[in-house]
Amino acid sequence: MQPYDHSKIEPKWQKKWEKAQAGKAKTPSQKKNGGDEQKKFFGLIEFPFPSGDGLHVGHIRSNTAMDIIARKRRREGYNVLYPIGWDAFGLPTENYAIKTGLHPTVVTKRNTDNFRRQLKSLGFSFDWSREVDTSDPKYYRWTQWIFLQLLKKGLAYKQKMFINWCPKDLIGLANEEVIDGKCERCGTAVEKREKEQWMLAITKYADRLDRDLDDVNFLEKIKIQQRNWIGKSEGAEITFKITAGDKKSDSNVSTAESVTVFTTRPDTLFGVTYIVLAPENKLVASLLSHTKNADEIKKYIAEAKIKSEIQRTDAGAEKTGVELRGITATNPANGEQVPVWIADYVLADYGTGAVMAVPAHDSRDFAFAKKYRLPIRQVIAPYFENTTDLIPKKDLPISKRAIVHAIVKHPSQDKYLFISWKDHAWNSLITGGIENNETLAEAGKREILEETGYKNARFIDTSGSSWEIHSYFYAEHKNENRYMVARGAFFQLENEECVEITEDEKKKHDIVWLDAIKARDFLTHINQKYIWDIIQKESAYEGDGKLINSGKFTGRSSQEILKEITEFAGGKWVEKFKLRDWIFSRQRYWGEPIPVIHCEKCGTVPVPEKNLPVKLPKVKNYKPTENGESPLAAITKWVNVKCPTCRGKARRETDTMPNWAGSSWYYLRYADPKNKKAIASPEALKYWTPVDWYNGGMEHTTLHLLYSRFWHKFLFDIGVVPTKEPYVKRTSHGLILAAGGEKMSKSKGNVINPDATVTTVGADSLRLYEMFMGPFDQHIAWDENGIVGTRRFIERVWRLQEKLATATIIATDTTAAGTKDTLIHKTIKKVSEDIEEMRFNTAISTMMIAVNELEKETAVSISHYENLLKLLAPFAPHVTEEIWQTTLKHKTSIHDEAWPSYDPTKIADTISTIIVQVNGKMRASFETSATATENEIQEQALKLPETIKWIGEKPVKKIIVVKGKVVNIVV
């Protein structure tokens, strides 16, 4: 037998497959065997941006995964569409063109040719007849057509706004093109510049984009990303009137101005101690003449202008701001006048560009108030009602008490004083009632003296010292229900001078000194833990509770009065979204021209659809202009045109579309890529869409996925597509990292091109390694040595040919034959299930186990070997095709063979499904050998991620194993 030689086998079959158009999908009109229309499967990957560096190993991971699924679907009887194309417009190509002096069209052609060669060398079963290129005028004609439909419906518009601006490259940048506040292209610090931009009103679809996530099979983490970006929330819009002048003076004058804020927490309205405006808020400019520090304000606005949005909204960044001295806002809830500030942590285009600051109940406002010594007023008291061991008893009266919880620090050591009760399982702070006419400090000192004997405790007023906490519980030691209003107080002992405490106190409890690390866990009750946290950490309380210091609402639950307090303050209850409209224009050359014409007489006029596409003119200079306009603005012959409406003088729009445009609908073009009359025919779209399974990187599951869903919904609304969602299922893969765990990047020089690997060990070895190197959804570091293992595995499969024997010879050892039948059927079941769950690494390890067992035999059944090859074929298509047709003499391709099925009777006695319960509730299940011992079953159950999640840190009291059925873990 000849040794395995990938360098001959792989090119041989690639040529045959290309000639036979092996991956080509049938058109919808083609019937299977003259009967009903064949069921379809549309598998999609993110089409690559063809860079000058060529394909890298990260692309191969996603491509191989979907190739495996597509090949399996074909063999399950589906008409499979697995297409490919090029996301060719965009900044990277333009950057490369500027750097090298090559025209972007030349760069794109060279790069796509190289990518195509590389993809074919890896044996992917793409339908190459449907290849698309977003920079091809025949394609972007329809991108422009979609824009015109958006314009007709009022969803495309122009607006002046602040954009990220690179002062060196003279271009506007999208947020994703700003890295650490610097231009991705040249590294220059980015600033803000006001510019008129084309916008798409994606916000009009915000609710549907959020709501319809319930109807799709996306990974939960993808849905969470989508929903977080959309940011749906309900809340109140409340208006504060603005007054100019000293708030303590009678000479205040109304400015006829007001500011409306949006808040999800109107229950905290009585706690507003200042208002914050975004530096860019238009109200600031109109108030400037009324302020006493206009120069200071202007300087701050200029400084904020050069900060990126990411810098400004960084939760960990130090908060900065300037008061508009002489300006106040009136709180509509209590009539109080509060100062007005500007601060760069508030953005003009988020919400209303203004916030009501409640530092006691918002961590961002808290940090700002602490820095600038602004008032912090608590209006929500945490409320703890005991529902476990000290549940209030129905027949007992309620005693209401005001109490102090004293935190006492040692005079010289970093230790704190606690008491441990003898008759009750309680560990607590120094605690006692606040008597009539006592201050918080006086009550705390008295309790410290009475319970511990320490005389010289000095009260230190912290922001948490006046914090209220409300608790309702059964006081076992008094046999009564108590409603306690507790406040924390911090004390530092001046010295250790101490007096003898009473015998009664000694009988009740012991005193304990603990360091801060052990203190919180020592405390028994959650309310005291909270007191400890609020005083030690000095933080805001952002939860719900009982209203205090809130006028007629005091004592009410914060959750129940949200709409009532909004109405009381003259506000209105609204639904808001964090999502902002899509900035759609770029001042660049390499993108789709926006198909509108500006006429002084007629205004903005769409290019007639019959004149599409508006082609990019071929120019020598595609660098940005000095004034920041698109390079197209300098091409007067192209720019100056006649108005389509009045035939008067007019100018073309010179901005181009972002690279997101062409990638927002490319999957639709795959359905009918040669169509000259429409995006695709209605028949093709009805048959092929929605996409059945879309896999791509997690980095694209927010913006790209959101934009694509938006365009699809719009096209559904105007009757172009038949479904409201573009993708039924969306999964994601982890990144392949460079050796050492770093992200691959051109700047670091650690990008791995697959060409050398394909040459040395072959495409099949590389495909297998990419799928075997770790769980598909996790980031995995590339290890050149690891690929040796998958190459050896292929060679072992190859050498099994030497052991092939007829069924007659195998049948002489019926026991061995039966065992191998079981092995193969178990392998079929496991590999089939693992492919569907994208557990490719365990599918391969299962086939490796099968090969190990077959190698032990003196002879291997042809049928067993064939089934192994059928399972391996989607992973390693070349070597399996070679053995199938050359050695086994089959006339047709292994990739046309039906997917193998397993016989349940062959594996029924060998596999048990075990249900895992935690405290009697089902939390997981797994399969194991029917002969597994109780210890083995128990060990498997405890290792499951679901089990670990539900047990958490709770100690396991007992494990009950019902062999072959159930494991019940009691915690």
Per-residue pLDDT tens for 263-295?
999 999 999 999 999 998 999 999 999 999 999
The neighbouring-strand residues paired with 381 are 546
Residue range 579-593: average pLDDT?
A: 91
pLDDT, residue 423, reads 82
Residue range 401-425: average pLDDT?
A: 92
Which of 703, 781, 682, 798 has its CA nearest to residue 741? 781
Each residue's pLDDT tens digit, 729-763: 999 999 888 877 788 776 677 888 899 999 999 99
Residue range 86-99: average pLDDT?
A: 86
Distance between CA atoms of 793 and 806, rounded to whole angstroms? Answer: 24
Q: Which structure tokens are listed for 37?
A: 């229309």
Q: Which of 249-258, 817-826, 864-873 has the lowest mean pLDDT?
A: 249-258
Distance between CA atoms of 80 and 650, rounded to whole angstroms? Answer: 48
Which of 927, 861, 869 has its CA nearest to residue 899? 869
Residue range 452-479: average pLDDT?
A: 84
More confident residue, 552 or 815: 552
Residue range 399-410: average pLDDT?
A: 93
Contact call for residues 824 and 851 (beta carbons, < 8 A):
no
Distance between CA atoms of 668 and 723, rounded to whole angstroms? Answer: 12
More confident residue, 588 or 841: 841
What pTM was estimated for this model as a whole? 0.80
Per-residue pLDDT band at 254 (split at 50, 70, 90): low
Answer yes or no: is pLDDT of 910 > 50.
yes
Residue range 496-525: average pLDDT?
A: 91
Q: Taking all residues of the chain, what is their mean pLDDT, rounded to a whole number?
A: 90
Residue range 808-833: average pLDDT?
A: 73
Each residue's pLDDT tens digit, 102-145: 899 999 999 999 999 999 999 999 999 999 999 999 999 999 99
pLDDT, residue 420, reads 94
Residue range 635-640: average pLDDT?
A: 94
Share of the chain above pLDDT 70, in %: 95
pLDDT, residue 189, reads 85
Each residue's pLDDT tens digit, 48-64: 999 877 888 888 999 99
Residue 856 has phi, psi (to 5 degrees) of -75, -15
Answer yes or no: is pLDDT of 77 > 70.
yes
Each residue's pLDDT tens digit, 302-350: 988 877 676 777 777 788 999 999 999 999 999 999 999 999 989 887 7
pLDDT, residue 241, reads 96
Distance between CA atoms of 444 and 461, rounded to whole angstroms? Answer: 12
Q: Strands, E, within 297-441: which ranges?
A: 321-330, 337-343, 354-357, 380-381, 383-385, 398-409, 415-421, 427-428, 430-433
Each residue's pLDDT tens digit, 362-393: 999 999 999 999 999 999 999 988 766 678 88
Which of 205-209, 249-253, 301-305 is most confident?
205-209
Answer yes or no: is pLDDT of 504 > 50.
yes
pLDDT, residue 176, reads 61
Residue range 660-686: average pLDDT?
A: 97
Residue 288's CB is within 10 A of a number of other CB atoms, namely 15
Answer yes or no: is pLDDT of 168 > 90.
no
Q: Strands, E, within 647-723: which ranges?
A: 649-652, 693-697
pLDDT, residue 245, reads 73
Each residue's pLDDT tens digit, 426-458: 899 999 999 988 999 999 999 999 999 999 999
Q: Which of 198-202, 314-318, 463-467, 849-853 has the lowest mean pLDDT?
A: 463-467
Q: Which structure tokens are listed for 214?
A: 């319930």
Contact call for residues 669 and 139 (beta carbons, < 8 A):
yes
Which of 420-424, 608-612, 750-754 is most confident?
608-612
pLDDT, residue 808, reads 45
pLDDT, residue 913, reads 84
